[in-house]
Amino acid sequence: MAEKLLEIQNLKQHFPSSKGTVKAVDGITFDIYKGETLGLVGESGCGKSTTGRSIIRLYNATDGKVLYEGNDVHDKKSRSELLQFNRKMQMIFQDPYASLNPRMTVGDIIAEGIDIHGLAKNRKDRMERVYSLLNTVGLNREHANRYPHEFSGGQRQRIGIARALAVEPEFIIADEPISALDVSIQAQVVNLLKKLQRERGLTYLFIAHDLSMVKYISDRIAVMYFGKIVELATSEELYRNPIHPYTKALLSAIPLPDPDFERKRVRQSYDVTVHDYTNETPSLQEVADGHFVYCSESELIQYQKDYYKS
């Protein structure tokens, strides 16, 4: 059995608004195991990025727990505790244009974490670390003296990856790291992430809305809808046997490189009224081994019948 690295327990992230409370993340529970990639997918506004930002403490959680190696992330208060936590967990942001300081050289951007954590013995060691990181992500040492505006989107995202790697983390949250990139560049960045995972034993939470790319990189996939995890299974299992109607609708929208098939295909829509939770409270339940679905008790019985009949 793989070792649990991260445990999310009933995590809630609510924000006040003029119309009441926005429940961006509304009581989600899941685990991430050491060395795996968990893909988190769903439509824009479903709470994916808020989940990532709450895990890494960019937001203070409204309720629930985030346990990293058994320790509650949101209980850490002292500077030394926060520094130690920040070394273990890093984030790659969605927008490679906005996430890099335009007034800093690439070398200083990458070395920022090295400086904060005092990882370099001297200036020479600092720059050698920067050069090594640039090489790791497919850039070269001459790029250290340049500024972000001199690079393409794909190169900027590589700089963001190098910055995240600089403090030698164990866990990385990749928040839609390829959505702002050209399709031709997306595969390169994903392949780089997979290579780094193999070489460094990294664990990823990979947040995205591109289901085909998520399947390629993820060991397991969690599907999110309006602040809830509605389905969680291995990548192959989720694509082969989707159970929740929302997951089925998402998968039916993935285009295939077959014009004849695409012309005839009927895409499914998701109607939330198919669920009657008037007398039953839904929760994330295990329909099959390792395959969880957000459902009521009566839905669970029906889902299991359908699953084992197929």
Residue type, 54: S
Q: What is residue 1's predicted lDDT score, i.e. its pLDDT?
A: 62
Asked whether the predicted pLDDT for residue 310 surpasses 70, the reply is no
- Read off the pLDDT band of 211 (50, 70, 90): confident
Task: Report the greatest alpha carbon distance in the chain.
Answer: 67
pLDDT tens-digit series, residues 84-143: 888 999 999 988 888 899 999 999 999 999 999 999 999 999 999 999 999 999 999 999
Give the residue-averaged pLDDT of 206-223. Answer: 91
H/E segment holding residue 33: strand 20-33
pLDDT tens-digit series, residues 44-96: 899 999 999 999 999 999 999 999 999 998 887 788 888 888 899 999 998 88
The CATH number that domain 4-241 falls under is 3.40.50.300
Residue written as token pair 């070792």? 3
Neighbouring residues of 34: CB distance < 8 A, sequence distance ≥ 6: 2, 3, 4, 5, 170, 201, 203
Residue written as token pair 């997918």? 41
Q: Which of 11-20, 125-134, 285-294 has the lowest mean pLDDT?
A: 11-20
Q: What is residue 180's predicted lDDT score, i.e. its pLDDT?
A: 80
Every domain of the chain and the residues it spans: 4-241
CB half-sphere exposure, 204, CA atoms < 13 A: 31
Q: Are 74 and 57 in contact (CB under 8 A)?
A: yes
For residue 179, which phi and psi values (nearest 5 degrees)? -70, -25
Q: Which residue has the higher pLDDT, 57 or 256?
A: 57
Give the residue-averaged pLDDT of 240-262. Answer: 85
**Which tokens is 239 given?**
């694509």
Asked whether the predicted pLDDT for residue 4 surpasses 90, the reply is yes
Give the residue-averaged pLDDT of 189-210. Answer: 94
Q: What is residue 210's predicted lDDT score, i.e. its pLDDT?
A: 78
Neighbouring residues of 59: CB distance < 8 A, sequence distance ≥ 6: 13, 50, 53
Residues 263, 268, 271, CA angle at the centre, nearest 5°? 155
Give the residue-averaged pLDDT of 239-254. Answer: 92
Predicted structure pTM score? 0.92
β-bridge partners, 221:
39, 233
**Which tokens is 292 given?**
């969880």
Q: What's the whole-number average pLDDT of the chain?
A: 92
Q: Which residue has the higher pLDDT, 280 or 268?
A: 280
Give the residue-averaged pLDDT of 276-304. Answer: 95
